[in-house]
Amino acid sequence: MSGIKVFLVEDEMIIRNGVKKGIKWEEEGYDFVGEASDGELAYPLILKEKPDILITDIRMPFMDGLELSRLVKEELPDIKILILSGYDEFQYAKEAIRIGVTDYLLKPISSANLLEVLNQVKESIWHDREEKELLIRYSKDMQENTENEKAKFFDRLILNEMSMAEAVEEGKKYGMNLSAPCYAICLFKILMSADDKTVLEQIVRASEKIEEEANRTDALYLFRRGISGWTFLLLAEDEEQMKERIRSFSNRLHCVMDSWKDMEYFGGIGMCVDRLRNLKDSFREADKVFAARFTEKPKQILSMEDLGSQDEEEVPVKGFVQVGQSRAILEKFLNRGTREEVGTFCEAYMAQLEKDHMRSAMVRQYVVMDIGIVIMSFCEKLSAGEEVEKEVQDLQASAARADAFGEMRGVIEQLLLKAIEIRDRASGRRYSDLIATAKEEIEKKYMSEEISLNTVAVRVGMSPSYFSSIFSKEVGQTFVEYLTEVRMNKAKELLMCSAMKTSEVGYEVGYRDPHYFSYIFKKTQGCSPKEYRARRKSQ
């Protein structure tokens, strides 16, 4: 560990030299980084050196110790300040306490007494640093929880459940400055899904690279959306700057994804809006464009303008010429889609069938027959064709009615939900099975530091973001909360049923750092491991 940095301010040279030379600073674990004769001279030097401890006289010309302490505390809130004074006056002490001075020492003070106080302060500094490091590590480990909270915050933003002031204030909790003249939304997702472990590991790495790119981009904030990928909130000074930022960030996303040539992705960009309360409009437009991922070519990041839509109420799709072309789109969704995406897919799919053509009973019958054949064929391959037979008949009946378009969409949606349920059941991808597999993996590997959301997601065949959202929904806890609970329960068993040291218990349940294990235990159980063991044994 590096030495604790000390800065001295004292207008009397004899006293200043006495303090400076009376302690063997380096031997005692300190770095004496500077001195000054008054507050005015000291202030810029203190800001430059950023000492851990400031020792200052209280009565000095130009700027006294209290005023200096007040200014320094504003810029360096963690600094420890020791006031030296020959004036034993309560008013000074009271003001020093109000400012946040660590100690108030009366002159004359011997080097030995000063060193004793300094050592106490040093211990406090080391303790604070350790606590801060542990908190940073804990926050990193609990990043999944933070991302979930951020996602909820974003949902409230686009639902207009917060005032501008509330949104700006809450945004600060996540390191966001949401004050800007212009806002826009970009939705983005990696489309490839596969059971192949190598491919899933590539998706994990690609996801990490995307988030790294977003986190180092100015005026841009990232929100995870589970199965839907990511939302990027962009801020700008005006529309021209926004266009440039969208273009630049889109290019960087393309560059990131180019590292994985076979991986498909898609992005949708919303309009630029001038108020945070209008963010819902940008999101709504981005979502409409994003729905075109089911019908457009992949590896694109598009805006409504790119899609060439004249009617913003419809989900636009380029290149649809004949109804029969929809078969490939439907087959692709049956193989890759999820039940959470069914509603959005139906919206895009039905839009590309073109309502004008669907007014003809003959065209409707043809479309229905095609849809029925695709879904029946898909389910028959899974030995479950009879399970969707009734829904296919209902769809055919709805097609005979002139006002059947809305009804048809509802029936198609139910058909797709059932087909995907059959597919997931046949492939062992039912959520109950996935969660059971994840829990088994945690039980087997909770003692390893290597276990993580990413490794378990790959094990169950999902992207980390999707797995996180499914696990939270099905279990009622985030993955990291569940893993921590398993580890803490195992730790409590060992504390009660073994003679292991607390450090050995921590190691046994997956924490190689005994300080961090104690920190986590106290944070989750309300007492230290030693206190827990003592309490339980005394009962």
Reported confidence tier of residue 326, pLDDT bands at 50, 70, 90:
confident
Over 80: is that where the pLDDT of 128 sits? yes
**pLDDT more than 90, % of the chain:** 40
Strands lying side by side in the sheet with 265-269: 220-224, 230-236, 182-190, 265-269, 300-303
Over 60: is that where the pLDDT of 193 sits? no
| pTM for this model (two decimals) | 0.69
Q: From the CB of residue 225, how many other CB atoms can be counted at a distance below 10 Å?
A: 18
In 3-state terms, what secondary structure has residue 105? strand
Average pLDDT over residues 37-62: 89
Name all contacts of 40-49 with Cβ < 8 Å and 24+ positions apart: 42/7, 42/9, 42/68, 43/68, 43/71, 43/72, 45/7, 46/7, 46/72, 46/76, 47/72, 47/75, 47/76, 49/5, 49/7
CA 143 to chain centre: 6
Q: What is the pLDDT of residue 185?
A: 97
Q: What is the pLDDT of residue 320?
A: 37
Q: What is the pLDDT of residue 91?
A: 62
Cα distances from 446 to residues 115, 134, 443, 489, in angstroms, run 46, 20, 6, 11
For the chain, what is the mean pLDDT? 84
Q: What is the pLDDT of residue 226?
A: 81
Summarised one tens digit per residue, pLDDT across range 473-505 is 889 999 999 999 999 999 999 999 888 999 999
Q: What is the pLDDT of residue 312?
A: 44
Over 60: is that where the pLDDT of 429 sits? yes
Q: Please, is 48 exposed, middle or buried when counting C-beta atoms within 10 Å of its C-beta (0-12, 13-18, 19+)?
A: exposed
Q: What is the pLDDT of residue 314?
A: 45
Over 80: is that where the pLDDT of 102 sits? no
Reported confidence tier of residue 187, pLDDT bands at 50, 70, 90:
very high
Name all contacts of 357-365 with Cβ < 8 Å and 24+ positions apart: 357/323, 358/405, 359/402, 361/399, 361/400, 361/402, 363/323, 364/399, 364/400, 364/404, 364/408, 365/396, 365/399, 365/400
Summarised one tens digit per residue, pLDDT across range 269-291 is 999 999 999 999 999 999 989 98
Reported confidence tier of residue 182, pLDDT bands at 50, 70, 90:
very high
